Amino acid sequence: MLYWFILWPVLIATLLYLINARHLKLMVILTQFAFLVSSFGLFWKVKTEGVLTETLGHWPVNIGITLYADLITAVLIMLTVFLFLMMFIFSYQKLYANKLFMFLFMLLQGLINGIFLSNDLFNLYVLIEVSTIVVSILIMFKKDSRSIYDGMIYLLTNIVAMTFFLFGVGYMYKLFGSLDLTFIAEHIHLVEPKDLILPYSLLITAVGLKSAIMPLFSWLPRAHGTPSAPSSVSAILSGLYVKGGVYLLIRLQDTFSTALDIHELFLIMGFLTGIIGFILALSQTDIKLILAYHTVSQIGLIVFGLSLNHPYSYWGSIYHILNHAIFKSTLFITAGMIIDSYHTRDIRKIKGVLYKMPLVSFVTLMAFFGITGAPFFNGSISKYLIQKGTVGTFYEYGLLLINLGTIMSFVKYMSIFFGKDEIHPNEKVHSPLNQRVVIFILGLFCLTGGVFGTYLIDFFFNQHFEIDPSSYLFKAGVYLLSLIVGILFYRFVYKRIKLFKKIRSIELSFNGIVFSIVLFFAFVMVYLGIPL
């Protein structure tokens, strides 16, 4: 039953919080293993039997709350359980991982599963609002002034955006008498397209903010890169939670696609988000903020691929959602290990990581190859498929620019591996076994996701794509050339560009973020044909 994937984490979290279990963390990890097996069972059932739907209370579909699982949903549920399992193992010896943290973290897991499974707009609104509160508490978990400020900005920003969503939900109910997405998609041809512009604009404004597309991404670095947020929280937020917004974007576009054609707008928005994201990442000196802004850039790439109206690009973007979750989670938790060892987040003060933390360096290098699309790593397959939909267009060169920017900023990031630690030059760091196991597994997935990429896409999504050896070899040559350009740029040009320092100081206030939300809403309305 689909609803157990939502209730199980919540009930177990509540039970374990209320009892005084001696081996609480071990019990949580064991339940996650059982949950992982169940999620694979769900995936296999969807793969063999087709789409699953479940209406709670046995009400008619257009009245009751319906849960929906296709292959994409089932794979995302499996990904969610896997990453939470990894984060629970990683946090096993952390002091912050107390009963309250475990409760909130498992509660978030159930809410994310609910977002992926829900087919009802109002139910989605409730799940997103509750998850926003939980995420805000996790951001503020260490209770220092900066994390409390960042958590409150995140909470208030999302409340404003979800108010737009709620108005859109109400308008959709007025038009259709139902909030079920499948029912709406089947009956949307009965409504005049002009009558759909307002509710769509309201809904997509909130979803655009949850997806962190331009210009609605200013909240993300505060949430994902706040100084005192646990690394496991940052990994889940950046690697997984933001994908809930992308998934809702896919569902909304599928629902409204026959009535409103807006793919060109999101094509441009995705492209610009990818460009702006890596420029902002290149400007940072805080290693967590570099990673957070790169999430913005990679989300832009995913939205861009989804909007190309090409099967290769669409499924390449879906696969990149999985890949990004793996390599970005890896990068955030290895960054957390580096920060714990060096007691600073300033990339200019971190040197000699390769000597002091060889395994962390090796795994980070694998994630670096993944996110930059190096041959035989997971990002290379998804980026190759996305690029197939741009052949012969201007956007093909745009993708090269986005990837070059990604390489440049990660060449800067990888500078922490070299040089010499002036404070403790000969001291090697010995990380706990559980952390080493987790990062090794995640790093291994960065490699296997590339070597077996086409087989995994076929297995997960029943989509068979052939990789042309000559074009893949050409792409490998382009990557090598881009890597050389990135290294030369960082060594001889980067430090001479004063603009990066000015960009680094740019930070929107709460009022500025709210203004960007209103501006985005107004722009979508005008684009679709309603003058304001």
Q: Is 120 within 8 Å of 181 (Cβ atoms)?
A: yes
* Dist. CA 208–CA 280, nearest whole Å: 19
The candidate with the shortest Cα–Cα distance to 141, out of 235, 220, 230, is 230
pLDDT value at residue 34: 93
The candidate with the shortest Cα–Cα distance to 200, out of 251, 272, 145, 148, is 251
Q: Is 2 within 8 Å of 69 (Cβ atoms)?
A: yes
Residues contacting 5, CB < 8 A, separation 6+: 38, 39, 42, 77, 110, 113, 117
pLDDT value at residue 531: 60
- Residue 468 CA, chain-centre distance (Å), reads 29
* Dist. CA 154–CA 139, nearest whole Å: 9
pLDDT value at residue 114: 94
Q: Burial, 217: exposed, middle or buried (Cβ in 10 Å; 0-12, 13-18, 19+)?
A: buried
* Dist. CA 247–CA 113, nearest whole Å: 12
pLDDT value at residue 35: 93
pLDDT value at residue 423: 64
Q: Is 237 within 8 Å of 325 (Cβ atoms)?
A: no
CA dist list (Å): 494 to 40, 372, 489: 46, 19, 6
Report helix, strand or coil for 182: helix
- Cis amide linkage into residue 221, ω under 30° from 0: no
- In degrees and rounded to multiples of 5, residue 50 shows phi and psi of 100, -170
Q: How many CB atoms lie within 10 A of CB 136?
A: 21
User: Tokens 């706990």 — which residue?
Assistant: 432
SS (H, E, C) 430-463: CCCHHHHHHHHHHHHHHHHHHHCHHHHHHHHHCC
The candidate with the shortest Cα–Cα distance to 290, out of 412, 154, 378, is 412
Tens-level pLDDT at each residue, the chain (532 residues) = 788 899 989 898 888 888 876 677 888 889 999 999 999 999 999 999 999 988 887 777 777 788 999 999 999 999 999 999 999 999 888 878 788 888 899 999 999 999 999 999 999 999 999 999 998 888 887 776 677 888 888 889 999 999 999 999 999 999 998 899 999 999 998 899 899 999 999 999 999 999 988 888 888 887 777 766 788 888 998 889 999 999 999 999 999 988 888 888 899 999 999 999 989 989 888 898 899 898 999 999 999 999 998 899 999 999 999 999 999 999 999 999 998 888 888 898 888 888 888 999 999 999 999 999 999 999 999 999 999 888 878 888 889 999 999 999 999 998 898 877 666 666 777 888 999 999 999 999 999 999 999 999 999 999 998 888 888 898 889 999 999 999 999 888 888 888 888 887 777 778 888 899 999 999 999 998 876 5
pTM of this prediction? Answer: 0.93
CA dist list (Å): 57 to 4, 60, 126, 279: 14, 9, 18, 50
* Dist. CA 82–CA 330, nearest whole Å: 13
How many helices and strands, by DSSP H and E, does the chain display? Answer: 23, 2
pLDDT value at residue 54: 87
* Dist. CA 253–CA 276, nearest whole Å: 24
Alpha helix segments (H runs only) across 56-191: 71-90, 99-117, 121-139, 145-176, 181-187
Q: Is 182 within 8 Å of 68 (Cβ atoms)?
A: yes
* Dist. CA 477–CA 237, nearest whole Å: 34
* Dist. CA 265–CA 113, nearest whole Å: 29
